Amino acid sequence: MYNFLVTANRGAWDLSAYEYERSRFGEYSEESVMEAYGELSAAAIEELKSFPALFAYEGEDENVRVGYIRRIKNRGRNILVEYEFESGIPEIPFSKIAELKMRLDIRNWEMNRTHWAVKDEDLFEVLHSAGLIDETFHSSAGLLGRVEELQFKVALSFPGEKREYISNVADELKRRLPRGSVFYDQYFTAQLARPNLDTLLQKIYLNNSDLVVVFLSAEYEKKEWCGLEWRAIREIIKNRSDNSIMFMRFDSTQIEGSFSIDGYVDLSRFSPQRAAEMIIERIRLNEMPPSKTYRDRDAHR
């Protein structure tokens, strides 16, 4: 997915913010995409901010820029968008983008209209295949914007002693899930080198991850950082659906706050690749709408 922002106002992208008429949002976008994002709910806004963006001017003469939307605010009939360009990607001549129109879902006459579209295409993959960006951005471990603004399908909580196994799990997840879907600390090494890391990690696990996979072991019980993550995980257990947590165990060590009745995957029986497959299975199940039976049951409660 990516945001495609076009304006006729020359010089607009030299500033840090731009306003679109509300009616221009979603033009040249698939109906199914706008069903998810058209209302600009709080959740939709967070997802839109996690997508890369292509900034262009009407016509086909001006260079385009790649960056990220940092803030979206409804202003009556308008939408305010604040943004930053990715410093590691230089301006791209539109002639290069013109060659990729079909792959980027840029449609006939679209460059003649000021609008903001949301495209169901992989911007970085297309640009990388055309030689316009390097492997850093093509990799799902590449630069994706600010980690605190990303929404992850899965986050991994584990002790460092198990890193070799977890790294293989993470790489398999990265290979099979969309870019930016996996929170694994080594994918964001530079961004995690900051003060107050404890509060950032708790925000990622508590608010920014659809599924948290906890790799329990004797080492997990002892590690300070695991303890900080575990506080956020206990809060999820308290306040959210059980489907938001998945336990995997390397051994039978009792962790304070977990119980013998909690279900888990015994990792002594499974390879990292198989563990990743089970995590993906949980992600897919969580994304499915509830069945009619459950909806009917809940309606009569």
Radius of gyration of the chain (CA): 21
**150-206 tens-digit pLDDT:** 888 999 989 888 999 999 999 899 888 877 789 998 888 878 888 888 888 888 888
What pLDDT shows up at residue 159? 87
Q: For residue 112, is pLDDT > 90?
A: yes
**Calpha distance 143→267 (Å, rounded):** 31
Average pLDDT value over all residues in the chain: 85
- What DSSP element (H or E) covers 104? helix 101-104
**Calpha distance 146→250 (Å, rounded):** 32
**Calpha distance 120→68 (Å, rounded):** 16
Over residues 98-122, the mean pLDDT reads: 95
Which CATH homologous superfamily contains domain 152-287? Toll/interleukin-1 receptor homology (TIR) domain (3.40.50.10140)
Under 8 Å between Cβ of 4 and 117: yes
**Calpha distance 30→140 (Å, rounded):** 24
- What DSSP element (H or E) covers 94? helix 94-98
What pLDDT shows up at residue 141? 44
**81-90 tens-digit pLDDT:** 999 898 778 9
Residues 6+ apart with CB under 8 A from 269: none
Under 8 Å between Cβ of 201 and 229: yes
**38-51 tens-digit pLDDT:** 999 988 888 888 78
**Strand, helix or coil for residue 176:** helix
What pLDDT shows up at residue 133? 86
